[in-house]
Every structure is written in structure tokens, then in C-alpha cells.
Structure 1
């Protein structure tokens, strides 16, 4: 009687018997199986290598299987192998097709999920924008109401009498001096101006990451000074002769839209889109005062001929009149059309204030009463307003505009 392995079904080279199940196995097969599962492969009983008993048998030469001894038998075996391979190939193809369908279904679900996420994201962004617009509109209405209330309140708070007297006396002196003035003999002619050339360029004054200089101011007593304000929220006092920065003034939270060097005092004045007007010292990087009368971005600054007063305008259509020496604001007036004031300038005599509006109108105000005097129409868009007076005391408005 020949021994047969319970796993392979062939005579074992090294037969062993499992004393737990009583079955015979090829030693190499059963040892490998026990290392992985620790159970008898047929009965499933817990088994270790110590339960295997090796059998001693006579070595013999195994005869060839009688089924492979003839040509028809060999052909039969090959046919069986081919059928098995064909069946296995069919099974693999069927499994591949099933995997493809599952993958296609998963991809479709993923695409549908992405579309749903994109639609929900779009709806969320639209809701956020609508909420932001609603909040902005509410804030705008609130700001407009606050400015209007402030303007209405300013009608009941008169400018101090000493300030009005100072404005009137200064105007009288300037008018008398202007009548006596004549054209300077050394006035540069237009022929000489035609030969003006670029002399120098100054770089790296402001941050390169937030590029852009939005305003510039010069000083009569210090021709080497240039004051600039930029998109980087900084105000820089630059010495062109030394080619170096004198001071850098910080504190604004948005871009600086206008700046002025005070003609007689050591002051730097700056206005920003953050609705603040800041006063700095030219002798040091020091903040002296902040005017917060505006509720929207400051668009222009103009120093009064008395050198103690100043006017500023904003994009909400209001302008304020400040006292630099007392660090106070006397009045905040709103344009009747509530149009953005792109620019503003005080008359050389110090009584009138001219404002260029976004609705293509130039409006003149009386500084002492904060009331509009006259309005001029006809421009496309007002950018700069300069008020001058002729020898006949006629008011002329010079305006630069875009077509």
C-alpha cells in the first residue's frame, strides 16, 4: 500500500503523520501550512510541529503514471490542460469586466460628488457675496447717516470767532499784497520749459511688493525734500540730494492717497483710504495727532494760508475743516449731491474752498459758514481743482479733466 499526502494527493518524499488527525502529509507542505495557520488543513484542529511524527519507509523508484504512457493519453492530458487554461482565462476576463464596471461606477459617483460640491461652493460664495453686499450697503447707509448727522450738527456749532477773524484778516492782507504783485523778471518762459529734461530717477523709496506712489509733496524751504505716499500704506520723506530716506511714517491701514509738507511748521500731513488724516513730525518719526472726522477714504488735503488750518475731503462727498494748532475739527460738510469729492483746494485768500466732484461738477464753499456758494458744470470728470484770483478780483477755476 502506497502513502498519499492529504494535501497534494501524491506520494510524499518525507511522509509524516499528524497524531491529532491521523492523516499523512508531505513534511515540507504541512510545516509551511502550520507556520501560517497552526491548524490541520483537513480537520481544522489545533496542531503544532511537535504533533508531526515522521514515518520511515523504503525508498523506491516511482513508476510512470500509466495514463501518460501512450500517445492518446498525452493528447488527453494536453486537452485537459488547455480546457483548464481556457476556463481560467474566461474567469479572469469576467472578473476584469466586473472590476471595470465597478471602477466606472465609482468614477461616476466621484464626478457626481464633485459636481455637487462645486454647485454647493458656488451657492455658498453667492450667499457670502450677497451677505457682504448687504453689510456694505448697510454700512454705507450708516456712514451716510452719520456724516449727514455730523453735518447737521455742525450747523449749530459755529466756528470760533477768533478763527473767523483770523481768516478774514489773512484774506485782507493777501488780497492787498496780490494787487501789488507783478510778474517776476526771472520767470521761466515756455521756451525754456520746452527744453526741460529728466535729471534723475529715485527707486526703492516704497515697497516693491505693493508698488505704486499715489501722492507727492514738495517743500519751498527744503528743496531737497520729497514727501510721497504709496500703496504700501507708508509715507516717506526722501532727501534727493543725499539720495536717502529721512523718515518713514507708518500707521495707516490702507493706501495713502494724499500727503502734504507743511510750509512753515515741522509737520507731515497724510490722508489715507482708511478715512484717517494723520499728523507727523518732520524732525522725528513721531505721530502727533489723528483726525477721524471722515467715514470713508480721504481724497485730498489743502493747507489754509494761515498755516494753522487745513481742509480735507473724502470719497463720501464730505469735507472737513481742521485746526492744526488746537488739533480739533470745526465742521464736516456734505455735498448736496453726496457725490465723491475727487479733489479739493482752498482759495489763495483763504475764504473759499473748491471741490471737484465725481459727477463732473465743481462746487465752491464759504469756509466760514461751511455753505455752498456756487457750482459749475460742463466737465467730464474732475481730477484736480486749483482756485486763483485775477487782478480784477474775479474768481477763475482751472481744472484738469479727462475726456
Structure 2
């Protein structure tokens, strides 16, 4: 007969009336006083202990600590306490192991659920971006959509007003004083270069003497062209596919389907209307409307005053790039199928389609109001379309650049068309009087994006490594 707590033969054995387990009386009474239960967790009181009578030799009176029997008794008491403590520690260790196993199981289950939900979300986004929706149009030339949100009446009226004003003024417009000449363009050379903290750069825009660049690593930077230094870095946090500067605000389209808005280096808003990557941005000449297109086939217009969506429509293919006409009444979007679709800005009704034959890489309207330049992915040429014509007759000119073109930029006067690509930069000049094209500039500065500077006196380019190069006439 042994005590469960000490593992030794009890000197004063008692048994539990409830479980029948044998204990040393002093040990179990101490345990009950501390826990109010048996070691097995069942409630127990001292009255539930049943003494067990056994033949034994009575213990002598307690000796003092000055004798060996007294020391032995003390050691016995210490051993009893140690036995109780060891038992309690073993119980606590067992409970802790059970709790840890449960926590690990719950964590593993949570991770699995999160992974499954993330996978389902990505699959749903991918499926949505591949859906081709139709409205039962009578002919194949109409826009393939399931719904079109036209502009509100007040914004539509503003579009008409801006169109009338700009189209009339364009006919009387002359080349501004101090604008760059053909001779100056032909003498352009590298004036400054600067490596921006923008790895895997993809996008560039210019406002006055400042440029903004963004890249696929989610970083962006504001660069001072005049001072040749980085004014500010912007942690966008998502891969940048396009950027646009509008007044005091900078917009970034991202591969997460967002259009992020920054002012003075701070994020002031996020426009999330695309189910897939947002691929292009454009600003209406009124300065009040922003457009974005995406691989989910959607075209979205936003009112910059309210930062809300005011119009939306869907094309029949994923969209790669976009641009507003300089008068604001037309909106162009390029597709992965090689079509350039022109829509009426007010209601997003399709007006005409031009074909390139390969995914559209870049497109830009001329400030003269009737030319559209476009290039397709991998093409070494730039096609000039005449907006006054349709079909094959609309192809006014095909300009050969000698290398693949990734970016296009027309200057304010409509004379100079800059192209940028892996093999270098060219400037194509259109002379209105003779209606002929010439090439005043060709160099080997690689570029993923090009933009004209103030008065056309500078040409700013950005390559894939984030190096910005400024071309101009050296003094």
C-alpha cells in the first residue's frame, strides 16, 4: 500500500471515499487545503477521508533538531513538501503541453483558412478579368458592355464647354515665343543624368520643372530637373504601372488595381475601382476628370473634386493604355488585341476603332487636334492616324524608328513627336506647311518613358534602372 503523492508506504494512511485512492493523511490534507480537490481534479474535503487502521509501531515524541531523529523528521517533512511540489509541477507541465498543442492546431487551421480564402479571392479576380460581357448589340462595331455609366449632366455640359472653347482657340494658336526650334532639337545632347531610387522603373510624368517617376518595386520619386536632385521619395507600396501629375496631386496606377493619390508626399486618397491591374491614366483638359483603364476591361472616370467615380464602361478586351483628346470630347483606349477604341467622353459610346495588329503599347494625341500617334508592343514603328478619316484610310503615316518603341510624347505645338525605347530616343517632326515628316534627332539613350520639358527646351527620359536623363542644348 503506497501513497499516490509520495510514492511511499504511508505512516498514517487514509482513503478517499469518492475514489478509493490511498494517501498519506498529512499530505492529502495539505493538498486539500491548497486546492480543495483530489489530485485527479475531483472535489474533496477532509471529511471525505477514511482512516485505514494498520498494525504499526507508535512513533516517539518529536525530538529536537539537536538529535539525529529530529533531523530525520525535518528531512521527512522537506521530502513531503518536495513530493507535493513535484507532483504539482508535473500536472502543470501536462496542462501546458495540452494548451500548446491546442494553440498550435488552431494557428495551423487559421493559416490554412487564410491561404484558402486568398487563393479563392485571386481566382475570382482572375475570372472576373477574363469575363467577356455582352449587351446583345445589333452589330459587332458597338461597344461590348453589360452597363454604361454616363457622366452626370453638369460634368457632361462642362465637357461640351471645354471642347468648344479649346477647339476654337486651337485654330488661332501660334507657336509660343521661345519654343524650341528644329535646329535646337537636332543639337540636343545629354545635359544631366541622375540615378533615382526607383528600381524597375516603368512610369514618368512632368509638371513644370519637376518630374515624377515610379517603378514595379513600389517606390516613386520627385525629381527637380533644374536642380538635378531628388526632392522627395514616395513609398507607394504597390507596383506602379503608370503615373500622372495634376496640379498639386500626383496619381499612381498600380498592379493591385488601385489609383493612389499623393499630395506634398502624403497619401490623400485611394481609388479602387478595378478588379485587376490598373494599366493607364489620363487627365481631361478641364483638369476636373481623371481616367483610368485596367486589365479587367473597364474604363473609369473620376471627379477630382469629390474623388468619386462618375462614369464607367467596359470594353471587350483588356486595356493597356489611354489618353484624352486635347479638346476633351474624345477618349482613346488601347487593347491587348491591337485595337485603339475611341469613345465619346460624355457617354462612353464607341465612335471609331483603329487597328494596330498587336497589343497597344502607347498612344498620344497631337495638339493639332486631328492626329493620333500609336505603337504596339515589340513594334519598331509609330503609326500616325488621321482622326478625320476611317478604316485603312485613317493611317496617315508609318514612322520607322529603328528599335522597339515603349513611350510616345507629343509637344504642345504638335510639331515634335518624341519616341523612347530600348535602343534609344528619336524626335519626329511634322511640318504643317509641307505636310511632311523629318527626323531631327536620334540617339542611343535607352528609355521606358519620355516627356517634354518647359517650352520644349528639354526632353526628359527614364530607363528601366531608374536613371533619368535630361536632353537639351548645352550652353
2:197 to 190, 196, 205: 205
RMSD: 2.9
1:341 corresponds to which of 319, 339, 342? 319
Q: Distance in 2 between matches of 1:352 and 1:389?
A: 13
Aligned residue for 1:198, secondary structure, equals strand
- 1:175 aligned onto 2:163: no
- Report the alpha carbon displacement of residue 355 of structure 1 after superposing the two structures with TM: 1.1
1:382 to 2:360 alignment: yes
Q: Secondary structure at the match of 1:167?
A: helix
What do residues 382-401 of structure 1 show as CA deviations (whole Å, max 9, x unaligned)?
Answer: 211112364xx6x3321123
Q: Secondary structure at the match of 2:302?
A: strand
TM-score scaled by length of structure 2: 0.49
Of residues 234, 240, 258, the one that matches 2:242 is 258
Gaps of 5+ in 2: 1-117, 136-143, 380-475
Q: CA deviation at 1:136?
A: 5.3
Q: May I ask how many residue pairs the two structures share in their alignment?
A: 254
- Distance of 1:182 and 1:274 partners within structure 2: 43
TM-score by length of 1: 0.57
> Which position in structure 1 is the counterpart of 2:419?
none
Query: 2-side partners of 1:342 and 1:142: how far apart?
Result: 17
- Aligned counterpart in structure 2 of residue 166 of structure 1, from 154, 158, 164: 158
**What is the match of residue 245 of structure 1?**
230
Query: CA–CA distance in 2 between the matches of 1:239 and 1:191?
Result: 26
1:398 aligns with 2:393: no
Are 1:307 and 2:307 counterparts? Answer: no
Q: 2-side partners of 1:276 and 1:135: how far apart? A: 16
* Structure 1 unaligned spans of 5+: 1-131
Deviation at 1:343, TM superposition (A): 1.2
Structure that is richer in strand per residue? 2
For residues 36-67 of structure 1, give each alpha carbon's deviation from its aligned partner in whole angstroms, at most 9, with x where no partner exists: xxxxxxxxxxxxxxxxxxxxxxxxxxxxxxxx
CA distance in 2, matches of 1:308, 1:287: 19
Equivalent position of 2:216 in the other structure? 231
User: d(CA) in 2 for partners of 1:148 and 1:215?
Assistant: 33
Give 1:219 deviation, angstroms.
0.8
Partner Cα distance (2:307, 2:130) in 1: 24
1:296 aligns with 2:241: no
Do the aligned partners of residues 267 and 138 (structure 1) sit closer, same or farther apart at CA in structure 2, a change above 3 Å counting? closer
**Change beyond 3 A, Cα 1:245–1:161:** same
Please point out which of 351, 359, 378 is paired with 2:337.
359
1:276 shift after superposition: 0.5
Deviation at 1:381, TM superposition (A): 3.7
Q: Distance in 2 between matches of 1:366 and 1:274?
A: 28
Separation in structure 2 between the aligned mates of residue 199 and residue 383 of structure 1, nearest angstrom: 28
What aligned pairs does 1:116-155 form with structure 2 within 5 A after superposition?
Answer: 138-144=124-130, 155=148
The answer to whether the Cα contact below 8 Å between 1:147 and 1:295 also exists between their aligned partners in 2 is no
Q: How far apart, CA to CA, are the structure 2 residues paired with 1:349 and 1:378?
A: 24
Higher Rg:
1
Matched, 1:275 2:257: yes
Distance 1:140 1:198, change over 3 A: same
CA deviation after TM superposition for structure 1 residue 137, in Å? 5.1
